[in-house]
Amino acid sequence: MTRPTNKTPDTVKLAVIQMHVTDQLEDNVARAEAHVRDAAAQGAQVILLPELFENLYFCQVEREDYFALAHPQQDHPFIGRFQNLARELGVVLPLSYFERAGQAHYNSLVCIDADGEVLGNYRKTHIPDGPGYEEKYYFNPGDTGFKVWATRYGRVGAGICWDQWYPETARVMMLQGADFLLYPTAIGSEPAEVESPNSHHMWQRAMVGHAVSNSSYVGAANRIGTEVVGGLSQTYYGHSFISDYTGELVAEFGDTDEGALTHDLNLAEARKFRAGMGFFRDRRPELYGPLLTVDGVTRRD
């Protein structure tokens, strides 16, 4: 049976969840569920939880033991619970989790529709590797390509954390028909030896740039609190936010707020504005060959 394509509504209420995380799965899942219920009580129809909210951000260090946190999508320890929750509340839940598939491991996300059905699985495309963010040790590069899902409340495009720095990710999802873009994330302080900026400002500006150049709403959900893993300490800077289709921050948490941040998305106005700006009309994909290379040199055999 072919699933019907849902018509994009004119307005949607989005919530992004900001929360602290412990080393106890049941504690984290119960708190996440409580936040989802609170967001739904506020009228939210699409609710985004942070990246890998099921446990501490174990990628601070390289330890074999942490592979045990991964589970197959089928018969997963908490995906089914959130399917039931989505069905009960009538909400869409793009849900981050640590996936095991055969001998491979992925940083993944399932999109659960408002009837509880899993619409598909996305595996994180861009995998970081640096002090405090040792993800290449744990995760295979994603092999699904970018995903957009037709949900009850619009066409949802979702990347995962490091994907948020890449304009290619946002542009592809918009070309696939996304009505808005979502990014679950886990990001905060850098180790002392790292020279890159230790600030949420650059992180936000990158995604706000996607909002501007795609005339799209963007929402990002981050964690908060200090986590100690393998003797290393990392503080997550929060600042989850929702940007409108012009790049204005219309809702933002601070670095310690916990809960549901909500905003009404006027998708009809965004569509009209996007068409009028002409960014997609004026694209020249026939000239973008260098984007498909590593070194910028287009080769023709």
Active site residues: 51, 124, 161
C-alpha to C-alpha distance for 138 and 104, rounded to whole angstroms: 9
C-alpha to C-alpha distance for 249 and 241, rounded to whole angstroms: 7
> Of 35, 72, 68, 64, nearest to 50 (Cα)?
35
C-alpha to C-alpha distance for 97 and 109, rounded to whole angstroms: 6
Contacts 24+ apart (CB under 8 A), 290-296: 291/168
- Per-residue tokens: 51: 């990246």
Contacts (Cβ under 8 Å, ≥6 apart) of 96:
49, 50, 51, 52, 53, 107, 108, 109, 160, 184
C-alpha to C-alpha distance for 150 and 86, rounded to whole angstroms: 15
